[in-house]
């Protein structure tokens, strides 16, 4: 049926029955029974096709108030922020203003070099604080270990072998004979502590250490 | 303040603007499709008053569902599908009320047996010399709503067979056979009146 219908539609487009060739006419007679049937079906089809030209040109009636309300609801939903009754335009303007303020303020201070100075000072203060804290911690640990080691009678101390006391990276090796406040303070092989370069920042000099211990005691 | 001209806009662009709640693009869509949808519904529902209400319902759904419209498809197919669904609902409602059978029951109203029956006499008189188009319009009201809708979409709205199938919700082959039976039925109805299109 479908194939026949497709064929018939093609023949309708080709013209009236008399316009068809002999083979097509034979096929039409087989399918529809008569030439009149073909012509009349074709004419009906043509009439149906041309009828849209008879569409009324009258203006359509005013749309239902429900439609107008639905449109208004659409408009409202598109101009609010996350469903809240805040106009989207205002939200965007506030966001833009905040962004601009956040962007403009640091760039103004950077222009006169003030921010560089602040950054440099901050780094210096921080480094000093950290270094001082390290000294205090070092001193506390060193004293504790020294006292502990001194109180022990280990076989190593008796045989005179080196006792390794490692608290943190870069700490030196102490001889058993050096254990004690006096020995520690008298030691001159400690590394300077107030130095900007990390590899050299291990142990303070005796004088520096003495100075800080003094300060801590006073404190 | 000049008024924007939407007459050159495509349906798809208009519906994108309707999506944002713009009234003027909607008015253009309404102007373009009101008569077509009204004619389609009148033919299917056979009630002018109900059809007028349903046209408004179609456009209300267009506005409400405009977000869901897929621009990959034609707007024309989409709006006629909405109209067809409303026709189906209307027939379901009538069926519940017992005023008529459902649309599905009327689907194959034009059958081989009917084609072989004597043609249904039309109420119009020959001496009134009605125009052929009017005669066809009246003859079409004798067809089942389903066949009426298919013929209307295929010929009066100029849609392709596959688009009609999409709107009606049936296979392409079914649309073709219904078109054929519909035309044969019209031919049977028109021939006793000696109306030569």
Residue contact B59–A6, C-beta within 8 A = no
What pLDDT does B3 receive? 66
Q: Give DSSP secondary structure letters for B125-143.
A: -GGG---HHHHHHHHHTTS
Cα separation, B36 vs B48, in Å, equals 14
Question: Which tens digit of pLDDT belongs to each residue from A61-110?
Answer: 888 899 989 988 888 766 555 555 566 677 788 888 888 888 776 555 55
Residue contact A41–B184, C-beta within 8 A = yes
Q: B22 and chain A: CB distance < 8 Å anywhere?
A: yes
| Distances B101 to B40, B41, B145, B196 between C-alpha atoms, Å | 20, 17, 11, 33
Going from the first residue of chain B to its last (197 residues), give the mean pLDDT of each consecutive group of 10, the final group possibly shorter: 77 89 90 91 87 94 91 90 93 79 43 45 42 76 88 90 92 91 87 58
Which pTM value belongs to this model?
0.57
Residue contact A41–B187, C-beta within 8 A = yes
Residue contact A37–B187, C-beta within 8 A = yes
Q: A153 and chain B: CB distance < 8 Å anywhere?
A: no
Angle between helices A65-78 and B23-45 (to 10 degrees): 140
Give the number of other Cβ atoms within 10 Å of residue B76's Cβ.
Answer: 19
pLDDT in tens, chain A (219 residues): 556 788 888 888 888 888 888 888 888 888 888 888 888 888 888 888 875 545 555 678 888 899 989 988 888 766 555 555 566 677 788 888 888 888 776 555 555 555 566 666 666 777 777 777 777 777 777 777 776 666 554 444 444 444 444 444 444 544 545 545 554 455 544 444 444 444 455 566 778 888 888 888 777
ipTM here: 0.73
Contacts of B184 in chain A (CB under 8 A): 41
Cα separation, A26 vs A172, in Å, equals 116
Contacts of B156 in chain A (CB under 8 A): 48-49, 51-52
Q: Per the structure block, which two tokens stand in for A213? A: 């211990």
% of chain A surpassing 70 pLDDT: 53
């Amino acid at each position: 049926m479908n194939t026949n219908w497709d064929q018939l539609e093609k023949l309708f487009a080709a013209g009236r029955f008399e316009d068809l060739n002999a083979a097509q006419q034979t096929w039409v007679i087989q399918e529809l029974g008569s030439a009149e049937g073909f012509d009349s079906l074709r004419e009906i089809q043509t009439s149906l096709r041309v009828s849209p030209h008879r569409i009324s040109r009258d203006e359509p009636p005013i749309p239902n108030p429900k439609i107008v309300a639905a449109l208004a609801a659409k408009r409202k939903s598109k101009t609010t922020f996350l469903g809240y009754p805040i106009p989207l335009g205002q939200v965007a303007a506030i966001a833009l203003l905040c962004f601009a303020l956040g962007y403009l303020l640091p760039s103004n201070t950077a222009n006169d070099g003030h921010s560089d100075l602040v950054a440099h000072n901050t780094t210096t203060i921080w480094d000093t604080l950290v270094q001082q804290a390290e000294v205090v911690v070092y001193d506390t640990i060193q004293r504790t270990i020294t006292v502990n080691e001194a109180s022990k009678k280990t076989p190593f101390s008796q045989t005179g072998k080196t006792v390794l006391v490692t608290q943190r990276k870069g700490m030196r090796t102490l001889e058993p004979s050096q254990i004690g406040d006096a020995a520690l303070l008298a030691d001159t092989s400690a590394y300077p502590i107030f130095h900007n370069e990390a590899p050299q920042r291990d142990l303070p000099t005796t004088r520096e250490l003495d100075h800080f211990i003094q300060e801590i005691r006073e404190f | 303040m000049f008024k924007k001209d939407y007459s050159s806009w495509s349906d798809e662009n208009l519906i994108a603007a309707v999506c944002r709640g713009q009234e003027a693009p909607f008015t253009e869509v309404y102007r373009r499709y009101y008569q077509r949808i009204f004619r389609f519904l009148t033919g299917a529902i056979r009630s002018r008053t109900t059809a007028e209400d349903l046209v408004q319902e179609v456009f209300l759904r267009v506005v409400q569902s405009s977000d869901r419209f897929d621009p990959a498809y034609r707007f024309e197919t989409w709006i006629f599908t909405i109209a067809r669904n409303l026709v189906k609902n209307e027939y379901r409602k009538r069926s519940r009320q017992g005023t008529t059978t459902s649309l599905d029951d009327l689907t194959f109203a034009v059958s081989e047996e009917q084609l072989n029956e004597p043609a249904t006499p039309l109420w119009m008189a020959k001496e009134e010399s009605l125009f052929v188009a009017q005669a066809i319009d009246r003859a079409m009201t004798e067809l089942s709503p389903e066949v009426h809708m298919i013929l209307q979409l295929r010929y009066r709205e100029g849609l392709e067979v596959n688009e009609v199938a999409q709107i009606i919700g049936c296979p392409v082959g079914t649309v073709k056979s219904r078109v054929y039976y519909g035309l044969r039925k019209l031919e049977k109805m028109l021939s006793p009146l000696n109306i030569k299109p």
